[in-house]
Copies of this chain bind each other. A is one copy, B any other.
Amino acid sequence: MKILITTGGTSEPIDQVRAITNQSTGRLGSAIAQACLEAGFEVTLITTEQASKPPAHPLLQQILIKTTQDLESALQSQVPQHQVLIHSMAVSDYRPVQMVPLEKVQEAKNLQAFLEPAQKDGKLSSAADHQVMFLEKTPKLIQQVKDWNPQIRLIGFKLLVSVSPEELLAVACASLTKNRADLIVANDLTQIDQNHHQAYLVEPDRVQEAQTKAEIAQKLVNFIRKES
């Protein structure tokens, strides 16, 4: 059984020294990878330089990426070679297209010109009091996974902030359908700390609850074993 796991957070460059990052520690993905390795699965981990990683293991391969585009390339080549994808990486929703001083935006007749990529080399000057950054939506990679491999079992993640359990479950259900996922791990940032990680594991026909990263990891291993 070959398991593909994504973990950590992508980052999108603003210029050569600044970036927009998703603040994901990678600890949950790392715990899941360890549980999968202990269960005897082969694991390919797509991760970032900054993310927590499991200790070296003979069944573990790692691919380091930075941007959403890197992730797309890695997924396109790896998804067809795996039976399960556990997609816990926090993927940037938006990436910078241009950053311009406020004055330029105020003078512009329309904003269309700022939605095309401009020169991104070098380091932006820091003279203006205000800057305006135009961002474009990144492709939703999770929606393409089943196109790349219709047989793969897809485990997705949904992280919200300060919502009710009802809303969290509703969003997870919608995500199951929209992404043709087999299971969604739904969690709320306010329910996560050093020792706790409350989550719902939502499948089309049942919902399980977990209280720690280790428990989430173990329940995912059971899910993979059960139907394989």
Q: Which A positions have Cβ atoms within 8 angstroms of B? A: 11, 14-24, 50, 90, 92-94, 97, 99, 102, 105-106, 110-111, 115, 121-124, 126, 128-137, 159-162, 189
Contact assessment for B161 and A121 in the assembled complex, using a CB-CB cutoff below 8 Å: yes
A94 to B20: give the CA distance in the assembly, Å.
12
- Which chain B positions have C-beta within 8 A of A121? 161-162
Verify A111–B105 contact, CB threshold 8 A. yes
Residues of B within 8 A of A14 (CB): 20
* Leading 8 A-B pairs by shortest Cβ distance: A93-B126, A133-B133, A123-B161, A131-B135, A122-B161, A21-B21, A16-B161, A129-B137
Residues A20 and B18 in contact in the complex (CB < 8 Å), given A123-B160, A137-B126? yes
Min C-beta distance of A112 to chain B, whole Å: 10
Are B130 and A135 in contact (CB-based, < 8 A)? yes
Q: Which B-chain residue is minimally distant from A66 (CB atoms)?
A: B23
C-alpha gap A121/B90 in the complex (Å): 18
**Which residue of B has the minimal Cβ distance to A105?**
B111
| Copies of the protein in its oligomer | 2
Given contacts A126-B93, A134-B132, A137-B128, contact A20 B19 (CB under 8 A): yes
**A18 to B18, Cβ gap below 8 A?**
no
Please name all residues of chain B whose beta carbon is closer than 8 Å to the beta carbon of A160 when the two chains form the complex. 123
Supplied contacts A16-B189, A17-B23, 8 more A-B pairs, CB within 8 Å? A18-B22, A18-B92, A20-B20, A93-B124, A102-B115, A106-B111, A115-B130, A129-B136
| CB-based contact A130/B126 at 8 Å | no
Name the residue of chain B whose CB is nearest to the CB of A134.
Answer: B132
Name which of A22, A93, A134, A189 has the most chain B CB atoms within 10 A of its CB.
A93
Instruction: State the Cβ distance, A168 to closest chain B Cβ, in Å.
Output: 12
Contact in complex: B131, A94 (CB < 8 Å): yes
Residues of B within 8 A of A110 (CB): 106
User: Within the assembled complex, what's the spacing in Å between the Cα atoms of A131 and B189?
Assistant: 23
Q: In the assembled complex, how far is the CB of residue A22 from the closest CB belonging to chain B, in whole angstroms?
A: 6
Interface centre among A20, A121, A124, A189 (most CB of B within 10 A): A20
Q: What would be 25 A-B contacts, judged by CB atoms less than 8 Å apart?
A: A11-B21, A16-B161, A17-B24, A17-B161, A19-B21, A19-B23, A20-B21, A93-B124, A94-B131, A99-B135, A102-B111, A102-B115, A106-B110, A106-B111, A111-B132, A115-B130, A121-B162, A122-B162, A123-B161, A126-B137, A129-B136, A130-B137, A131-B134, A132-B133, A132-B134
